[in-house]
Structure 1
Amino acid sequence: MRVALIASARFPINEPFAGGLEAHTWGLARTLTRRGHEVELFAAPGSDPELGARELLVRKTELSSLARADISMPSADWMEEHHAYLGLMLDLAQDGANRFDVVHNNSLHYLPIAMAPALKVPVITTLHTPPTPWLESAIQARDACPVVFTAVSEFTASVWRPCVPRARVVRNGIDTDFWRPGTGGTDLVWSGRLVPEKGPHLAVRAARAAGVPLRLAGPISDEVYFKERVEPLLGEGAQYVGHLDRRGLVDLLGSAAAALVTPRWDEPYGLVVAEALACGTPVCGFDRGALAEILTPDCGLLAPDHDVEALAALIPRAMQLNRAAARRRAEEFCSLDRAADAYTALYEEVAG
């Protein structure tokens, strides 16, 4: 299959990844290419050159001083991202059918959906988040949106159902050959973007209440939040170890007794859960979004949302869960090969 894979224009599809969306896109592109498909990845500058990525080109606009002073003027970053996707979709509308069998939109931008009717090649969009106003409005721009939708979990499909009645569930996956089991340890680990909706400050509080050291890893995507809510809690058994690449994360996750996952939003999937399980590390977290779909009682325990005391009480039990059961769940439920199988079948179906 000839696949146009549309990725983020904000963050490179390269290590260390900005988040789960970028990590999943990277893994999917590599797996499809390894299987013999021709994948052209449209992504932000700085993406992995081994993927053969094409930069989402930004045509610089020379706005007049009056336009820039207008009350409706958005940020420069918004304008650049908008023009990057606009240029790509205009290009695909012109000759995409000659170059591709399918367009797979793996971004969070509204233009690949809104402009899909202009393309003569089928468009698939994966829903990676709960509903947003921009995406909902793009879907409703026509009476019958021609896009085929997938969702990364049953939960995500359910919250989109009023707007997208028939989103197929294709769960994100990880390379279980790379994310290998570790020997475990005595500490806890937390990984992900350090932002309010991921709740790392709650993980520190829970670990401290349980009396177990915690190591945190990930990009500081919200510096104000990190300085005000996370950094003051560090020390006394809580350590930030930096933004690690995948190899560093494998070592970190595999050397932990359990992984804490503390979402303060409805987690659409939770790639960090799959990564921890693949390393043989049980999970302890809040019951938000799709986490309950991934975890079973023999590999993870969930506390009520935002209940730090309940989470702390579960930590000792989670640390005793069977590491082999965690690894087995990752192999059976979180495999990237499963996701690639499902997407390949869907590509073939929509391309006829």
Structure 2
Amino acid sequence: MRIALLAHLRHPVARPFAGGMEAQCWALADGLMARGHDVVLFAAGDSDPRFPVDPVIPVHHERSFPELEHRGDAGLKAHVDAGYAAACDRIAAGGFDVLHNNALSRLPLERRRLAGVATVTSLHVPPYDALRWFVSDSLVPGHRITVTSEAQRRTWWPEGAPPEVSVLHNGVDPAAWPFRERGDGGAVWSGRIAPIKGTHLAVAAARRAGLPLTLFGSIEDRDYWEAQIAPQLGGSIRYGGHLSGDALAGEIGRASVFLFTPCWDEPFGLVAIEAMACGVPVAGLAMGAAAEVVGEAGHLVPPDAGPALAQALAQAIGDALAIPRTVPHARVLRLFTRDRWLTRCEDLYARAHRAAHG
């Protein structure tokens, strides 16, 4: 198939990945091309040049409009909207069999645009007001919508989702996150360093449990980093940088427990299955889809424990350490592999294409 992939524009679709959306869009382009599809990635122009990139904007907007995401900046909104509008026009005229829309933009969801090309939209976020109405109005023939978890589907459609909506769990390549039979006795945390990711909770829990902890990831919120994380570094708590690929997989895989601390309704939690693929059990918060993703591969605590939360997380760390490493690894092989995810995507593309062409 000839497939257009439309990405979020805050960061480039390139290593080291800023977050799960960039990682999954990269894996989608890479996997579909390996399966023989003709793929064009519509993304920021500084995305990975190994892919055929049609730039939506010249460079990712965190570079040209730094730290303005979610702040209602009119200049950023106009810049992004103009890029997406032109890109949608090029996609409509580009002879594509299907568009896989991973953007956080209302524009690909407009009915007049959906009429031009079969579309699969993957929702990676909770039901923000800026998207909610457009999503509900976009249920037309030739459009399929996916969410990353049952928990996310319930959040978007608490009274039951329409038949055009399905759960598409994220997946990882187990070869890229190799299994290790034993850990080094320490804890690890990975993700975007920002309040909603709960980095500070991981630090507090590791200290309470008496385990060394290494943090990995991009520093998304500089004020949060300087006020709550940087002062905690030293001794048993260290920052390992923003790594990717084999380097990050090696660091994650040598740990004995992974700390997963979302402070929002996390739609999925890609970092958790990356660690699980390596055989690392998970301790963390039961927020959003965490319980659905982690299952028997970890121990989670409710987020409403108040002042006792650090102690509850420390106890969860101890419980998770007792889980055999084969358990998280087996869960990923059963439910969350990249091949399983790509096959589901291909099926959705075919369904959307058939519905669009009657």
**Alignment partner, residue 177 of structure 1:** 175
Alignment of 1:260-339 (within 5 A): 260-297=259-296, 299-305=297-303, 307-339=309-341
Higher mean C-alpha deviation, range 143-152 or range 77-86: 143-152
Corresponding residue SS for 1:49? coil
CA distance in 1, matches of 2:216, 2:101: 29
Shift in alpha-carbon separation, 1:342–1:39, aligned structure 2, 3 A: same
**Alignment partner, residue 65 of structure 1:** none
Answer yes or no: is the 8 Å Cα contact 2:5–2:39 preserved in 1: yes
Answer yes or no: is the 8 Å Cα contact 2:43–2:57 preserved in 1: no
Residues 72-108 of structure 1 deviation map (CA, whole Å, 9 limit, x = unaligned): x944322211111011112233x14xx1111110121
**Alignment partner, residue 63 of structure 1:** none
Higher mean C-alpha deviation, range 154-163 or range 244-253: 154-163
Structure 1 length as normaliser, TM-score?
A: 0.90
Aligned mate of 1:165, from 162, 165, 171: 162
1:114 Cα deviation after fit: 2.4
Question: Counterpart of 1:334 in structure 2: which amino acid?
Answer: F
CA distance in 1, matches of 2:139, 2:269: 33
1:315 Cα deviation after fit: 1.0
In the alignment, does 2:114 pair up with 1:121? no
**Alignment partner, residue 243 of structure 2:** 244
Question: Counterpart of 2:291 in structure 1: which amino acid?
Answer: A
Higher mean C-alpha deviation, range 26-35 or range 311-320: 311-320
1:146 Cα deviation after fit: 6.3
Residues 220-257 of structure 1 deviation map (CA, whole Å, 9 limit, x = unaligned): 01101111111122223111111111212101111100
Answer yes or no: is the 8 Å Cα contact 1:284–1:318 preserved in 2: yes
Corresponding residue SS for 2:121? strand
Shift in alpha-carbon separation, 1:13–1:313, aligned structure 2, 3 A: same
In the alignment, does 2:99 pair up with 1:103? yes
Alignment of 1:61-140 (within 5 A): 74-93=73-92, 95-96=93-94, 99-114=95-110, 117=113, 119-140=115-136
In the alignment, does 2:226 pair up with 1:227? yes
In the alignment, does 2:197 pair up with 1:198? yes
Question: Counterpart of 1:310 in structure 2: which amino acid?
Answer: A
Residues 96-128 of structure 1 deviation map (CA, whole Å, 9 limit, x = unaligned): 4xx111111012122111255454211111011
Question: Counterpart of 2:90 in structure 1: which amino acid?
Answer: D
Shift in alpha-carbon separation, 1:49–1:207, aligned structure 2, 3 A: same
Question: Counterpart of 2:351 in structure 1: which amino acid?
Answer: E
Answer yes or no: is the 8 Å Cα contact 2:286–2:301 preserved in 1: yes
1:162 Cα deviation after fit: 5.2
In the alignment, does 2:147 pair up with 1:151? yes
Answer yes or no: is the 8 Å Cα contact 1:113–1:147 preserved in 2: no
Instruction: Determine what percentage of the aligned residue pairs are the same residue.
Output: 39
Shift in alpha-carbon separation, 1:141–1:328, aligned structure 2, 3 A: closer
1:284 Cα deviation after fit: 0.5
Answer yes or no: is the 8 Å Cα contact 1:19–1:192 preserved in 2: yes
Question: Counterpart of 2:261 in structure 1: which amino acid?
Answer: T
Answer yes or no: is the 8 Å Cα contact 1:281–1:326 preserved in 2: yes
In the alignment, does 2:32 pair up with 1:36? no
Higher mean C-alpha deviation, range 144-153 or range 311-320: 144-153
1:137 Cα deviation after fit: 2.7
Question: Counterpart of 1:231 in structure 2: which amino acid?
Answer: A
CA distance in 1, matches of 2:109, 2:332: 32
CA distance in 2, matches of 1:245, 1:117: 36
Answer yes or no: is the 8 Å Cα contact 1:6–1:106 preserved in 2: yes
Answer yes or no: is the 8 Å Cα contact 2:171–2:341 preserved in 1: yes
Corresponding residue SS for 2:153? helix
Question: Counterpart of 2:337 in structure 1: which amino acid?
Answer: S
Residues 163-203 of structure 1 deviation map (CA, whole Å, 9 limit, x = unaligned): 95342011111111111013411110000000110000010
Q: What is the aligned-residue RMSD (CA, Å)?
A: 2.0
Structure 2 length as normaliser, TM-score?
A: 0.89
CA distance in 2, matches of 1:336, 1:39: 17
Residues 20-66 of structure 1 deviation map (CA, whole Å, 9 limit, x = unaligned): 0100111111111101111111011221111222211469xxxxxxx
